[in-house]
Amino acid sequence: MSEPRLTESLIESLGDQLTPVRRLLPPWLRTAGWLLAVAAIAAGLLWHFGAAHMIRRWSMEPDIAMAGIGAIVTAVCAAWVAFTLGVPGRSARWAWLPLPGLLLWVGASGLGCLRDWILPGAPVASVHQAGDCLMFIISFSIPLSALLIWLLRQACPLRPVLTAVMIGLASAASSAALLEICHGFAVAATDLLTHAIAVLVVVLANALMGGRLLQPALR
């Protein structure tokens, strides 16, 4: 008789020591919260640089506008996938979701390589100016990636490296979209190459460092 009572007492004592776990918000809502931070940065850039130049540039070069839309779609989809992969039981196939936006972003940006034939005389960024674009994307990607990693450490990403790749893609794509607010040059081959390098650096850095930072959540 004493043994069952001892077991019940042990279960009750263990139950009293448990702390309730707060349920995480759904992925779409956490994605919206992160996008609010991106929107706040965009508002600050628009307040400083204005929107007139960006709108005029997009109206003259529709392919640049399409590239900007592709970058935004990529950022939204990649961020949502990152939060979705933090939910146990979600399929890794969700990682294909940003692909259409990525193809639109890359394809429309690739038309900039034909700028001399499509729009002769358009102002093209020099190597130094293209380097400034690279630093812009990387600099803005760092805090955006850090915010995503911090939010995802509260979840349980069973695929930390894949989740970190989505974090890097979302951060780099949103930074490239923000660059459109103050970017004053047509996208030529040099500029496109520096954008691609910046995106790869951000994604690889997140895959190497972000994956390790997300792993403690598993333990």
pLDDT at residue 1 in the model:
44
Q: Which amino acid is at 115?
A: R
Is pLDDT of 16 > 50?
A: yes
The listed range with the strongest mean pLDDT (29-38, 50-59, 118-127, 175-184) is 29-38
Model confidence at 190, pLDDT cuts 50, 70, 90, reads low
Distance CA 78, CA 205 (A): 16
pLDDT at residue 4 in the model:
56
Model confidence at 217, pLDDT cuts 50, 70, 90, reads very low
Distance CA 98, CA 79 (A): 9
Domain ranges of the chain: 27-38+57-114+124-217
Q: Among candidates 163, 203, 195, which has minimal Cα distance to 68?
A: 195
pLDDT at residue 218 in the model:
42
Task: Note the pLDDT tens digit of each residue in 80-94.
Answer: 999 998 887 888 899
**Global confidence as pTM:** 0.81
Distance CA 161, CA 167 (A): 10
Of 133 and 99, the one with more pLDDT = 99
124 beta partners: 186
**3-state DSSP: the chain helix, strand, coil percent, rounded to 5?**
80, 0, 20
Numbers of helices and strands, H then E, in the chain: 10, 0
Task: Note the pLDDT tens digit of each residue in 50-82.
Answer: 888 888 878 877 878 888 899 999 999 999 999
What is the rounded average pLDDT of the residues 175-204? 78
Mean pLDDT of the chain: 79
Of 33 and 24, the one with more pLDDT = 33
Task: Note the pLDDT tens digit of each residue in 118-173.
Answer: 555 555 555 555 567 788 899 999 999 999 988 888 777 778 889 999 999 999 99
Distance CA 4, CA 99 (A): 58
What is the rounded average pLDDT of the residues 169-182? 91
Is pLDDT of 219 > 60?
A: no
